[in-house]
Amino acid sequence: MDGFAIADPRFLRLVLPNAPLETLGEGFRWCEGPVWFGDRDELLFSDLPNDRVMRWSESGGVSVFREGSGFENGHARDREGRLLSCSHRHRAILRTELDGRITVLADRHEGRRLNSPNDIVCRRDGTIWFTDPPYGIQTDYEGGKQVSEAPARLYRLDPRDGSLAVAAEDFDGPNGLAFSPDERLLYVAESGLQFAEAPRRLIRVFDVADDGALTGGRPFHTVEPGFADGFRVDVEGNVWSSAADGVHCIDPSGALLGTILVPSTVSNVAFGGRMGSRLFICASHTLYAIYTNTRGVPLP
């Protein structure tokens, strides 16, 4: 089956052999942070080093959504449909209100500035979870060199009272994150130091208590080649992860089922489209999409 690498026959019912990998846009510096807006029938995604957020729709193709908003990386939507952004430059979590104004939801913890929030998800209870490695303040390319003031942590933000809590902090470079469909598990990628010769390639999994407390953090899957950056979970609990050779599909036990082969390094993915079954793939300079035979967990 062209375009796929099959590690387990169960992969065959999750993909469509006649659905091609489509190129939706090219010429970006580095695509990241895809998020689907079903009510507007469009995808937003970051062109990170160009400090701009792009928009793609079936009817309108690619256009600029906004520029100069602080080297945005990961995106999500909250329970009211508002855009949540990780800004490297501003070292902050931003929320775009429905009228377009931008609110800073968090930019420091106990007086110390955040590093460079990388990726973000919203739980059904409205809490916002994000990773804060230093990648975006280590180079001018992704936001501008600045001094780190805090460890690389996973944070939980409650926008109802503005409280920011450390959810976990024993990380070697936390990166992408996603909940299981029942939100009892939280997957967090660990990609190590950006310039390390041998990056960490791990996805870890935490148990989530009703009150949001995390335990565990055990190894779930090692992604090779490349490393796990961003990923999403489908309705059956399979993890669709970025990798150097494409998108890896990993079952809830941690076993690799197969790979959607992509010509360039994948940074992040998002399910979207009318049925939630189209997988949008940010891969280096290119935005791709492919129809699958599963659906992403509805977000938020």
User: Which of residues 69, 115, 116, 118 is near Mg ion by CB under 5 A?
Assistant: 118
From the list 37-45, 154-162, 196-204, 221-229, the region that binds Mg ion by CB under 5 A is 221-229
Question: Which candidate, 293, 287, 297, 288, places its Cα nearest to that of 258?
Answer: 293
Interaction mask 162-181, Mg ion, x per CB under 5 A = -------------x------
Under rule CB under 5 A, residue 132 binds Mg ion = no
The stretch near Mg ion (CB under 5 A) out of 41-49, 95-103, 111-119, 177-185 is: 111-119
How far is it, in rounded angstroms, from Cα 255 to Cα 8?
Answer: 9
The H or E element that residue 252 is part of is none
Q: Based on CB atoms, which residue is closest to Mg ion, 14 or 43?
A: 43
CB of 43 to Mg ion, least distance (A): 17
Check residue 127 for interaction with Mg ion (CB under 5 A). Answer: no
Distance of CA 55 to the CA centre of its chain: 16
Please state the length of the chain. Answer: 300
Does the protein bind Mg ion through residue 229 (CB under 5 A)? yes
| Dist. CA 206–CA 174, nearest whole Å | 13
Q: Is the CB of 248 or the CB of 277 nearer to Mg ion?
A: 248
SS3 12: helix
Size of site (CB under 5 A) for Mg ion: 5
Closest approach of Mg ion to the CB of residue 259, in Å: 19
Q: Is 119 an interacting residue with respect to Mg ion (CB under 5 A)?
A: yes
Would you say 4 or 204 has its CB closer to Mg ion? 204
Residue 135 three-state SS: helix
Interior/surface letters 19-55, b for 16+ CB within 10 angstroms, e for the rest: bebeebbeebebbbbbbbeeeeebbbbbbbbebbbbb
**How far apart are CB 33 and Mg ion at their closest, in Å?**
8
Q: Point out which span in 52-60, 110-118, 195-203, 283-291 binds Mg ion (CB under 5 A).
A: 110-118
Both tokens assigned to 251: 């079952």
> Any contact of residue 142 with Mg ion (CB under 5 A)?
no
- Identify whether the C-beta of residue 36 lies closer than 8 Å to the C-beta of residue 52: no
Binding site for Mg ion (CB under 5 A): 118-119, 175, 229-230
